[in-house]
């Protein structure tokens, strides 16, 4: 496949639609409402039609809203509206005013309040506002209010991570990941509404977390309640779903993309410089020169902790390299290299969806059929980023 295929906006749109088509129509839950996210990544069969994870719900709303924006299939609008209604009326806890983390059908299974999940509610609502879905603006205001009223800590300019279901106490843990996605959500909310408070908050998060906490191009994941790095957190649980121990190259390139996105709206030299440093750190310490792909995590001596390769990290690298190429064309080499690896190892040739993870050598793992939180969000978001870059900068197509 020609490298220019990876840069052609029309062909990129086709890739985006293939991911959406993998999930539709089986993702529509006609029994309980909302989405079925647990579709087998190899053949697409539903293996759990009951469990509803807040993050999966929000990401699917976002995905189908992106489909509307990109002139995708006609089903996108009704499907996005379907999910937004479920988020608003079922995930939402009217008594305590927050989103329940996991549902069984329509009943709460896990009510813990996570900043990470509420950040994705902001993202979902913002993308829905951007494409004019009914009630999206009210949901954006509600989700933002909870995020700011319950999690935001003005002394640090960042968000706490977790609270009990009744909002009586915040946990001591503070995390990079939730704040990164809060920054992403605030940028989306600013673009959807034009309201500067969202852009201001995105800039505040980036400044407090990335500008103040990078160490030689590295960004640690885990902190205590004073935002002091906790280098022991989860060191015995390196494969934790949301909080693995170690540096994550995938998050370094994800921040590259976000800092450059922020720079588009509020240019500052440090944003481009730091974005470049984070990307270079990711490829120097996290890229597997023998088999390709980013190691999931590396230790403080740049040695792999988990050598598995995750599809989301490569997808984020694609978005990051596309944005970097606007400032330095040489990053198109990484853009093409990442797509080559993705097509060879991560993209399901049958359906066009992306595998969640593979071994270091690129082999699919034994199927575990866990609760799904990734219904194509990372590929769709970063394909969309690449489309934006190449449409705005046609010279990069040459």
What does the pLDDT look like over 235-252, one tens digit per residue? 988 888 789 999 999 999
Count Cβ neighbours within 10 Å for each residue of 257-292 and write b for 16 or more, e otherwise: bbbbbbbeeeeeeebbebbbbbbebbbebbbbeeeb
Number of domains forming the structure of the chain: 1
pLDDT level of residue 5 (50, 70, 90 thresholds): confident
Using DSSP's 3-state secondary structure scheme, residue 206 falls into: helix
Bridge partners of residue 306, in order along the sequence: 297
Q: CB of 67 within 8 A of CB of 133? A: no
Residue-wise pLDDT tens digits, 300-330 = 899 999 999 999 999 999 999 999 999 999 9
DSSP-assigned letters across all residues of 208-256? IIIIHH-BTTB---EE-TT--B-TTTTTT-TT-SS--SSB-HHHHHHHH
The pLDDT value given to residue 382: 98
CA distance 19 to 2: 21
What's the rounded Cα separation, in Å, for the pair 383 and 316?
9
Q: Which helix (H) or strand (E) holds 125?
A: helix 115-130
Interval 364-398: pLDDT, tens = 998 889 999 999 999 999 999 999 999 999 999 98
Q: What is the CA radius of gyration of the chain?
A: 19
Cα torsion 87, 93, 99, 100: sign: negative
pLDDT at 3 over 70: no
Indicate the pLDDT class of residue 72, thresholds 50, 70 and 90: very high
pLDDT of residue 42: 95
Q: What is the pTM of this model?
A: 0.97
Question: According to the model, what pLDDT value does residue 93 have?
Answer: 98
Cβ distance 229 to 267 under 8 Å?
no
Q: Which domain holds residue 383?
A: 3-397
For residues 142-161, average pLDDT:
98
Name every residue whose Cβ is closer than 8 Å to that of residue 174 and which is 6 or more positions away in sequence.
158, 160, 161, 222, 223, 224, 225, 227
Per-residue confidence band for 1, with pLDDT thresholds at 50, 70 and 90: very low
Which are the catalytic amino acids? Answer: 251, 378
Residue 2 has pLDDT above 90, yes or no: no
Stretch 114-126: mean pLDDT: 98
Among 391, 237, 398, 264, residue whose Cα is nearest residue 324? 264
pLDDT band at 4 (very low <50, low <70, confident <90, very high): confident
Q: Which residues are CB-neighbours of 19 under 8 A, at least 6 positions away? A: 63, 352, 353, 354, 376, 379, 380, 383
**How many CA atoms, within 13 angstroms, populate the side-chain half-sphere of residue 20?**
28
What are the tokens at 195? 């309201």
CB atoms within 10 A of CB 329: 13
318: domain CATH number? 1.50.10.10
Residue 6 pLDDT exceeds 50: yes
The burial class, CB within 10 Å (0-12 / 13-18 / 19+), for 190 is buried
Task: Tell me what percent of the residues of the chain surpass a pLDDT of 70.
Answer: 99
Predicted confidence (pLDDT) at residue 99 exceeds the cutoff of 60: yes
CB 31 within 8 Å of CB 41: no
Per-residue model confidence as pLDDT tens digits over 197-250: 999 999 999 999 998 777 778 999 999 999 999 999 999 888 887 899 999 999
Question: What confidence score (pLDDT) does residue 48 get?
Answer: 97
Please report the beta strands in 19-78, taking only residues with DSSP state E, as ranges in sequence order: 38-39, 46-48, 51-53
Strands 46-48 and 174-175: unpaired
Cis? peptide before 25, omega within 30° of 0:
yes
């Amino acid at each position: 496949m020609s490298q220019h295929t990876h840069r052609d906006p029309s062909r990129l749109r086709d890739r985006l639609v293939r991911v959406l088509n993998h999930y539709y129509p089986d993702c529509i839950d006609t029994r309980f409402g909302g989405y079925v996210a647990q579709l087998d990544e190899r053949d697409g069969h539903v293996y759990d039609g009951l469990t509803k994870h807040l993050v999966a719900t929000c990401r699917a709303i976002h995905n189908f809203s992106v489909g509307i924006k990109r002139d995708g299939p006609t089903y996108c609008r009704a499907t996005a509206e379907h999910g937004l209604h479920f988020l608003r009326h079922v995930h939402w806890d009217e008594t305590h005013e927050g989103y329940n983390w996991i549902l069984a059908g329509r009943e709460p299974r896990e009510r813990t309040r996570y900043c990470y999940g509420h950040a994705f509610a902001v993202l979902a609502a913002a993308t829905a506002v951007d494409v004019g879905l009914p009630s999206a603006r009210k949901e954006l205001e509600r989700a933002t209010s909870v995020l700011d009223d319950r999690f935001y800590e003005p002394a640090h300019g960042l968000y706490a991570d977790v609270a009990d279901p009744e909002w009586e106490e915040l946990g001591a843990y503070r995390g990079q990941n939730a704040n990164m996605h809060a920054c992403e959500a605030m940028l989306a909310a600013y673009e959807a509404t034009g309201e500067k408070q969202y852009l201001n908050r995105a800039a505040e998060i980036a400044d407090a977390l990335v500008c103040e906490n990078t160490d030689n191009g590295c960004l640690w994941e885990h902190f205590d309640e004073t935002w002091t790095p906790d280098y022991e957190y989860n060191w015995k649980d390196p494969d934790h779903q949301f909080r693995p121990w170690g540096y994550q190259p995938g998050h370094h390139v994800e921040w590259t993309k976000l800092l450059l996105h922020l720079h588009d709206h509020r240019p500052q030299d440090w944003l481009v410089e730091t974005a470049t440093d984070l990307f270079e750190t990711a490829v120097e310490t996290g890229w597997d020169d023998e088999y390709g792909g980013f190691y999931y995590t590396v230790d403080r001596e740049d040695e792999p902790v988990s050598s598995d390769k995750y599809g989301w990290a490569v997808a984020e690298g694609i978005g990051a390299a596309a944005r970097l190429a606007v400032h330095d064309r040489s990053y198109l080499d990484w853009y093409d290299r990442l797509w080559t690896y993705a097509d060879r190892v991560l993209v399901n040739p049958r359906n066009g969806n992306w595998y969640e993870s593979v071994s270091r050598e690129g082999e699919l793992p034994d199927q575990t059929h866990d609760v799904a939180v990734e219904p194509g969000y990372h590929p769709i978001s970063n394909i969309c980023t690449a489309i934006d870059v190449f449409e705005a900068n046609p010279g990069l197509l040459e």
